Amino acid sequence: MGMKILKKIIHLLLLTSLTISSISANEGDVYLGLQFPGISLKYDITDTLNIQGMAGVYRDLNIYTLRSNYKFQRKESYDLYAYGEAGIIQWDARNSFENEAVPTFGAGAGIEWSLSKVLESDIPLFFALEVGYSFASFNNYGTYSGLDFGGAIHYKF
């Protein structure tokens, strides 16, 4: 059951990235970066809404998520945003029971600021800090729910 869900999420991430790459993006619509614990690709749908795909590895976990970020307060050098996300967490059991992939859900808020606005430069780098709550329930490893803290750096194309 878990591997079917994982394959669907991977296909969805690939489809999302292919869709984003096939869109004739205006300057500044696509971001590529590092978001703990992996890589991230974002696409601005509007000035206040973007979609984001992330894939990462943290210890024995492989994490694949899609999220939507809503910028609810925009200032010249920073934005405050809220997010909702869904994805798959796969437990890679090298020394444990067995591999297991389960859905995960989360929500949170963060702040993103532009290096170019802060330093008055032309470098299109964006830094973010965020806090959220996420949930996943494993059959063999129990339930995880709790606060998540994260950071990111993205380059805007």
Segments making up each domain of the chain, as ranges: 2-156
Residue 95 has pLDDT above 80, yes or no: no
**Per-residue model confidence as pLDDT tens digits over 11-42:** 655 555 555 555 544 545 899 999 988 999 99
Record the tokens describing residue 15, joined without a space.
């489809």
15 burial (CB, 10 Å; 0-12 / 13-18 / 19+) is exposed
Record the tokens describing residue 148, joined without a space.
């998540």
Residue 8 has pLDDT above 80, yes or no: no
Mean pLDDT of 66-85: 95
Q: Give the Cα separation of 106 and 78 in Å (integer).
A: 23
Please give the share of the chain, as a percent, with pLDDT higher than 90: 54
Mean pLDDT of 33-62: 91
CATH of segment(s) 2-156: 2.40.160.20
